[in-house]
Structure 1
């Protein structure tokens, strides 16, 4: 009886999950995995209607870094429309700032200042304005041509809206009081008004990744203000089809599909383009559409024809190669960072996602989750639960295996038949997981499952964390899994300074002992302070605090470990020098932020690790320690989260790969251990930094020199003195923000 009740309880839980009353992340992950596998196994189909003009390495080499000068882009668009006679062009890029590459702004400045009395120069400026205004040149190219510009929507609090939005597809006023559930944005980055007004249309290119970061769907419409705006793929397809309007299609009250624009329900099922003939595009929740990936992506993916933008500009292609095609201008270059995670690959070109959606619109080939999918899922779970409960509680092991296998085959076959024959994406994971759960439960029946789960937690996490943390986890094994999740952690990178030189000066045996002693000492400190060892990367140690066991004070623990590691390294260095080995110096970077933590890797090997922007920044901070001659650099988030320590603000910098400046700090010691002399020295430093940012060069120089009287070898102070000398000789622009950019020495 207990066994029956347990099986029925599992079925009941599955029903709750299907109704979203008790959501289980694993079910969504398995459904996503199944969807991804369908995309991967379907044969590649070449689409001859869409061509991607690739800003590839060849184009970048010949025409410079992207974005190109606007006159170069204008020439590319003219080639496509006037010489190759394409149907439509979608530009997977946004141009919110004026083009300053022509030098026109310099000439305008001269006309207002140094040459304002030079009549000959002023007479020439009229012609030069026309010739060098590349934005007007591009606007003239856009005018009257079937070219769609991209733009981006955002909800970032720090973002400021830029540019001019295109006209919306429709507004709230046109919905007769209905409310559509859609992605809602509050900011945008669009094109210059002169460009957007000239373009026939515009479309946003925001990705819509699932919780695992994979992009399986794309919004066709999104809301800003009172308007609903088209995606780049929808706008490009509409222009190619000569359609002028997009209208929502709602469900009728009797449940029959309707092309009526208005009815008593607000449930939207599709959008309609007034093309010839009219074209209806089915929609998913939040006005999205499932992407049908036609290939593995890229020029060799086989789904779309790729041509180099350089070949188009030089007109090296035969006219029939592009004639009457739909063109998407984008890039597959890794350096331009338009590669996304798709079901068919980790580095999938973002521009090809738009191409796949356009292809589905033209072909009418959309997979769709029906509105009745939840009801179907519930009925399927109830039938399977009752059937398997009745059968598996009676069958012996061999018969149970055979019956369960037949059930798997039947459920999977029916689901695949509906997918192939009717383009319906029906839920499958909940059924498969219920079958598996009932089968395992009936075979294990009790203690075996629990004991194996406990041993698994101890075995897997024991590789990463201290034994005392494993003991905590073993008390509640259900609370700790290797599944990925977003969590705020503090991440550390620690590296040996000059390791290449050290390795060249030592024998293989001595080097092995040298690095083993160092890694052991650092690892013991990290684990002893509740940190999780991630990996060793040569002489680099990567670790993090706050997972798998949640730690509210993860930043404090990380900073304390970093300071202790410096002390340990100094002691090791003294011992190494006595042995005749090179001295040991380490640099440590710490950053706090939200990351994805969990099992990651390949089917061959997985590792419990962290990924995300905060991890990359931590690595960058470790590298910055060399530039300032300090042992530890932490980000502002770490400083804020660990106020127990005294810090020296080193600078405000833009690290490689980032545009937004950040403040970086050197932790000195716990506040309780700072004496008056150290406090005064910190106050002197921060006063010098304030004077420097206020461009009070004399005062800043005096303070930095006073600081060097106490700390004669301080590289950071020496660096600022060099900058002061440089800035005195090279006046700064009016908008100088005092931020150092790590590209060249004086590039701020």
Structure 2
């Protein structure tokens, strides 16, 4: 997980705002409708939400394919059906229906036909054909139980013919629907302005008569029915809730009902239509089909009602379709209003805020994680949110679904692009620059720290590590080129692995020498301790190679290591066309001199007092001497690391104690005592043997009074 800075936070916020604004903008308003479609489909598939059609407050009388294929309607024009329609409507009314609405329009009558028939028009010969039908309409309408339908249009209005309008005393309501830009019906109008006054739509009028209340306009502008405030995301509309996917509304075939009238089964009409709102409409495969928010789930033209007189058609199985008969759209509005179950949608401000928040979460994830991880977060969060949205939709609350999902996906893509172009540019440069000569874990540490090396150099506190094989030139002369290369590759690989595993950076190889630094390019507050640990491990590893590796056996290789800590300039240094990440300063020079000083003292590892000071009490040390290296006027104390504190052997402790005693006498000019102390371990410790010899010489020939206990080393 990468660290994010203020610039990344600002970028994430701006990207989320942009994505949220774009995907909730008016040009993409169709996404809101798509959310309804998806939620309807998911609720239908996951929850099911099946309801008993018998509990429906609304039923449909369907002029269906069976009607067209059943005598006396088969082969007859629909204008001739009116008398039979009147008889069926009368029986439905007698059965206790609350109100009947027409989703079919008869714009003309056979009585109006001007087609010649003999010596007079056909219409004149059919006078009185619709009389019984019109009487039935008048009687039912006078009881407040009938509403005819019409289509309002400035160009081509579709209304019942005049005699019907007179019969129902203009008790007519509009059947117009609200169609979205993608030609899908997701909402239905609540009212229409006629002569400057709001008049309820057909379905609203039927629901109002069923509950015995009037439609009212609240001070807030919302439409109310019997205390129910109808939710309207789009003004003056109701958002349809197809909870049962059409299968929760009973549909009775008009042909069967007509036969039931002939049969005289009044009880059937009471059972089927008592207390119900009835809608008369067509349910055909080719006429008045509507795309609704069920289009992805596939809806049904109602649930087949109980039969009364005719046997069910041979094929009664219903097929789910993307479109449904228009009468079931009106039936859904009636049921939504009576059951107070219309869908509540979030308004534009809340949809936008929710979309922006969702996009911001994913943008932050894309900023923190790798693209693959961010994509997994997007998938997981989208799945969780979708489940929550479906749960809310079960309770008729429609949360935006497509807008947050698509906006967050766009935010994910934009944030990845931002990181590639801007935010991760330094990281890519660092990985490219150090990939071939820095351990992967060190690169990851540098990336995680967020501190990139400055181009051109920067001052850093580091610990320098110099090592060199002792007497390697003479050994190399005895080997073939192949043997030499193999040995060097084995040695340098082993040492490099140890250095890098302790956080070090190998600057260069010079023959058999290794130049490394700790504390750069990655920040490492414990660079001195890690450098000493690495030096001890390298010394231990070389002993193991000499004992077990075939390339080393018989050569007895040994090396010298110098360590020094201090300020140094590190960075990309070189020409404009070619440069290396390296280090320069007096700290580097001193470390190099200490590596060479080991051969004077017979030691393998020598560290400056600056390095010892930065390691605290981690190691057991032996102070070797105070020296003045070539090219530096100031003397420095040098030390030899023995082991981790508390882990030194008894032999190491004995040698260190005797050496410390001798060094104290040496610096006090008590050379004879110093020689005796050094002599105690001179036979096993080359450094003690060196000082015993020097102390004996000075005891025999005392130095002048201005003598200081500082050893000035000549050469490297």
Q: TM-score, normalised by structure 2?
A: 0.40
Q: Which has more radius of gyration?
A: 2
Q: TM-score, normalised by structure 1?
A: 0.39
